[in-house]
């Protein structure tokens, strides 16, 4: 009996080996996170609100990240490994953002995280990333005055969005406006952005009495009183709004603006947080002529952007996502997508997924984004890119009416409010005092 078993042992072992190999290959294809599969995949975290007040903006960023992952995986992955996205929903809850970030870094052991929209969510997760040597790719424009070693800022700094917009409105081409109503959601980005904008406007000779500043909470819905004040402010002409309203509050804001008889001709709105994706859920009849300042618009006619737009529509249709092939691209979508490719390119350059090695490989790295060639700053974790101003058209797209000459280098610390500070992670270990 024993001899018979020994004769069969090689066959049994061969069958077991084949079975294990088959299971292992199957697990790799389904994205399982067991120990066998971890040898074939590399995990990344996706930290965007899929519910709550910010879902109107953030859901599409998850979709953009997933599209980039699918494209990279179809080409063989990164360093021979398939990317496995671990998607969580912080539900527009700033405390939950920190909890989910900790879950991704500590429990799921992701190599990088792509996420956040609002600055309050970014500020909430920042200690988690800094304490656990994580790397966050942040895709949305922000207020500056920050330069963390744990964040790669692919969104705009104030000099890449806020200042060019205000400068344009003051110019003859932009209308020569002399009165500015600064209206925003009550949190970090709008308040700091408006501090910088006020400093700029005052430096250009705009009187204090011609600058009004007001804030509303997240998910604010009743703009009747505020628009009445705007109407009085704009009654004598040459007045405009600089809007840092975020999330779904934009829908009642623009609607009330039109209800009270205001328009782009009487008082244009220059938005810093409204793009094509938000316009999908708004009645564009009342929005025509209003403005937005970003670094990318879907209407960019570069061949690489036309492909990106077509691919995103096809991706959404194939995945059965709401909107399907009617979906649009916009600035944060572009940079969320580009962020994944920057990380992948840096990992390949470093030959490693190690955070420190990937971070070092990012310095000075360029990438042919849908917006054209962009470049990581060689020292401060921010992205050099063009600035564009667009005018809303009836179809919810933007007519590009102004564009910077070439790439605009990022300034994390505004010379208007922090002239004594700069950031350099190569030579100065981060933020330092200029001499």
pLDDT, average across residues 4-22: 37
Rounded Cα gap, residues 93 and 218, in angstroms: 11
Q: What is the pLDDT of residue 282?
A: 86
pLDDT, average across residues 82-96: 97
Angle formed at CA 68 by CA 350 and CA 279, multiple of 5 degrees: 135
Distinct helix (H) and strand (E) counts, the chain: 13, 17
Q: Which string of DSSP letters, residue by residue, matches 367-379? A: EEETTEEEEE-SS
pLDDT in tens, 30-75: 333 333 335 699 999 999 999 998 998 999 999 999 999 999 999 9
- Residue 434: pLDDT band with limits 50, 70, 90: very high
Would you say 333 and 60 are in contact if contact means Cβ atoms under 8 Å apart? yes
Least reliable range by pLDDT among 20-34, 129-143, 362-376: 20-34
- Torsion-angle region of 28 (φ positive above 0: left; ψ -120 to 50: alpha; else: beta): alpha
Would you say 150 and 417 are in contact if contact means Cβ atoms under 8 Å apart? no
- Torsion-angle region of 372 (φ positive above 0: left; ψ -120 to 50: alpha; else: beta): left
Place of tokens 């708004």: 282
| SS3 labels along 40-84 | CEEEEEEECCCCCCCHHHHHHHHHHHHHHHHHHHHCCCECCEEEE
Residue 230 has what DSSP assignment?
Answer: H
Q: What is the C-alpha radius of gyration for the chain, rounded to an integer number of angstroms?
A: 24
Least reliable range by pLDDT among 5-19, 184-198, 213-227: 5-19
Q: What is the pLDDT of residue 14?
A: 35
Q: What is the pLDDT of residue 38?
A: 54
pLDDT in tens, 364-393: 999 999 999 999 999 999 999 999 999 999
Whether the per-residue pLDDT at 24 is higher than 90: the answer is no
Alpha helices, H only, 269-354: 276-279, 303-318, 331-350
Q: Which residues contact 279 (CB under 8 A, 6 or more apart)?
A: 287, 328, 392, 396
- Share the mean pLDDT of the chain: 91
Q: What is the pLDDT of residue 29?
A: 34
Residue 120 vs residue 27, higher pLDDT: 120
Angle between helices 224-233 and 250-259 (to 10 degrees): 50
The residue among 44, 195, 210, 52 whose CA lies nearest residue 117 is: 52
Would you say 410 and 402 are in contact if contact means Cβ atoms under 8 Å apart? no
Torsion of CA 54, 137, 185, 294, to 10 degrees: -100
- Residue 316: pLDDT band with limits 50, 70, 90: very high
Q: Return the bridge partners of 376, or none.
A: 383
Rounded Cα gap, residues 105 and 136, in angstroms: 10
Would you say 183 and 175 are in contact if contact means Cβ atoms under 8 Å apart? no
Q: What is the pLDDT of residue 435?
A: 81
For the beta carbon of residue 16, count every other beta carbon within 10 angstroms: 10
Whether the per-residue pLDDT at 21 is higher than 50: the answer is no
Whether the per-residue pLDDT at 1 is higher than 70: the answer is no
Going from the C-alpha of 277 to that of each of 59, 90, 110, 327, 403, the distances in angstroms are: 10, 20, 28, 8, 21
pLDDT in tens, 229-278: 999 999 999 999 999 998 889 999 999 999 999 999 999 999 999 999 98
Whether the per-residue pLDDT at 93 is higher than 70: the answer is yes
- Residue 284: pLDDT band with limits 50, 70, 90: confident
Token digits for 221? 């819905």
For the chain, give the percent of residues with pLDDT over 70.
91
pLDDT in tens, 145-186: 999 999 999 999 999 999 999 999 999 999 999 999 999 999
């Amino acid at each position: 009996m024993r001899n018979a078993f020994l004769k069969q042992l090689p066959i049994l072992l061969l069958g077991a080996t084949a079975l294990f190999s088959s299971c292992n290959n199957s697990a790799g294809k389904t994205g399982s996170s067991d120990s066998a599969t971890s040898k074939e995949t590399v995990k990344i975290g996706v930290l965007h609100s899929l519910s709550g007040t910010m879902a109107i903006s953030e859901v599409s960023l998850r979709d953009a990240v997933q599209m980039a992952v699918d494209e990279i995986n179809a080409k063989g992955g990164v360093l021979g490994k398939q990317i496995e996205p671990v998607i969580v929903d912080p539900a527009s809850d700033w405390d939950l953002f920190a909890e989910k970030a900790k879950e991704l870094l500590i429990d799921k052991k992701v190599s990088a995280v792509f996420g956040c929209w609002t600055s309050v969510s970014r500020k909430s997760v920042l200690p988690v990333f800094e304490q656990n040597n994580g790397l966050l790719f942040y895709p949305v424009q922000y207020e500056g005055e920050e330069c963390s070693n744990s964040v790669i800022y692919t969104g705009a700094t104030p000099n890449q969005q806020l200042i060019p917009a205000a400068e344009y409105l003051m110019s003859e081409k932009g209308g020569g406006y002399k009165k500015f109503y600064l209206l925003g959601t009550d949190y970090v980005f709008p308040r700091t952005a408006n501090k910088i904008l006020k400093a700029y406007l005052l430096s250009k000779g705009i009187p204090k009495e011609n600058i009004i500043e007001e804030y509303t909470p997240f998910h604010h819905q009743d703009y009747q009183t505020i628009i009445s004040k705007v109407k009085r402010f704009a009654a004598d002409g040459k007045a405009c709004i600089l809007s840092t309203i975020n999330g779904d509050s934009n829908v009642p804001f623009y609607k009330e603006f039109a209800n009270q008889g205001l328009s782009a001709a009487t008082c244009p709105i220059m938005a810093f947080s409204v793009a094509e994706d938000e316009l999908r859920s708004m009645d564009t009849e009342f929005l025509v002529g209003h403005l937005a300042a970003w670094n990318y618009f879907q209407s960019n006619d570069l061949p690489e952007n036309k492909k990106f737009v077509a691919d995103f529509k096809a991706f959404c249709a194939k995945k059965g996502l709401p909107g399907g092939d009617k979906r649009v691209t916009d600035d944060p979508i572009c940079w969320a997508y580009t962020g994944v490719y920057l990380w992948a390119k840096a990992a390949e350059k470093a030959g490693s997924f190690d955070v420190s090695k990937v971070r070092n490989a990012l310095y000075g790295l360029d990438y042919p984004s849908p917006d054209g060639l962009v470049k990581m700053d060689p020292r401060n974790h921010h992205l050099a890119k063009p600035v564009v101003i667009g005018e809303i058209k009836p179809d919810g797209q933007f007519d590009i009416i102004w564009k910077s000459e070439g790439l605009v280098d990022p300034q994390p610390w505004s010379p208007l409010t922090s002239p004594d500070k700069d950031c350099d992670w190569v030579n100065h270990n981060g933020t330092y005092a200029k001499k």
